[in-house]
Amino acid sequence: MKVKNLFLAIVIPALTACSFNRESAPSRFYTLTTPSVQQVRGPSKITNVSIENVSVPQSVDRPQIVVKQSDSNMVTVSEFDRWVEGLNSALPVAISENMNMYARNISARAKRFGSDNTKYIVSVDFVRFETEIDGKITIAAWWTVSNNRGDVLVQKKTTLTADTPDDKYGDPDYDAIVSEQSKLIARLSYKIADIISELK
């Protein structure tokens, strides 16, 4: 009986400490960034663009950052590494800011900040937004450019990849992962801006 009581006296505080540590671990929050880029195109005429109807797969449409195991169907949802804002809200802003930084002749706004004199409307449907541990970050999106009457002028699919960063222990480096995702989104934004700049 004394041995059993001693065992419980050791185990219960240990379990309580483990539970406390898990519950008190601070969450880390991340946001998409807009990489610096040299501007192209001339400033002769400003084209107003509205970024609308941006969607991501349901698997990543959550506060937690999701990563996929290499050569596996298993995914990991990180409880302590989270988006500060939902991707469906953050992506239109990131795309518009990237386009503005890249092209002098474009004034892009997310729909919620749109204006009445919009000339072109951009919709982006991300069909892949994956991060594979020990593999690749992949974004694939169907995107369209329409005029302000709703006529589709351009429809394309773009797929971009980058190597997935990890830390010195081989675990996901979420800060570096979000940085690489931001660069891929910027590259997609530049492609859209180039197409819009060629439209009459």
Can you tell me which residue has the tokens 């009459």? 200
Give residue 116's pLDDT.
66
CA-CA-CA-CA torsion sign (113, 116, 121, 123): positive
Q: How confident is the model at residue 24 (pLDDT cuts 50, 70, 90)?
A: low
Q: Count of CB atoms within 10 A of residue 16's CB?
A: 10
Q: What is the CATH number of the domain that holds 65?
A: 3.40.50.10610
pLDDT higher than 70, residue 145: yes
Query: Is 161 a member of any domain?
Result: yes
Select, from the ranges 13-27, 34-48, 78-92, the one with the highest average predicted confidence (pLDDT).
Answer: 78-92
Query: Above pLDDT 90, what percent of the chain?
Result: 68
Q: How confident is the model at residue 45 (pLDDT cuts 50, 70, 90)?
A: confident
d(CA 121, CA 149): 9
CB 109 within 8 A of CB 96: yes
**CA proximity to 55, closest of 17, 102, 91:** 91
Instruction: Dump the DSSP string for 81-135.
Output: EEESS-HHHHHHHHHHHHHHHHBTTEEEEEGGG--TT--EEEEEEEEEEEEBTTS
Query: Is 4 a member of any domain?
Result: no
Query: Is 71 a member of any domain?
Result: yes
Query: Is 8 a member of any domain?
Result: no
Count of CA atoms in the C-beta half-sphere (13 A) of 156: 14
The two tokens of residue 84 are 């500060």
Question: pTM of this prediction?
Answer: 0.84
153-176: pLDDT as tens digits = 999 999 999 999 988 777 889 999
Give residue 112's pLDDT.
59
**CA proximity to 180, closest of 147, 137, 148:** 137
The chain-wide mean pLDDT, for the chain, equals 86
d(CA 2, CA 66): 47
Range of the domain at 160: 28-198
* The total number of structural domains that make up the chain: 1
d(CA 62, CA 40): 35
Query: Is 6 a member of any domain?
Result: no
Query: Is 137 a member of any domain?
Result: yes
pLDDT higher than 90, residue 23: no
pLDDT higher than 50, residue 94: yes
Q: How confident is the model at residue 72 (pLDDT cuts 50, 70, 90)?
A: confident
**CA proximity to 185, closest of 140, 120, 144:** 140
Query: Is 93 a member of any domain?
Result: yes
Query: Is 21 a member of any domain?
Result: no
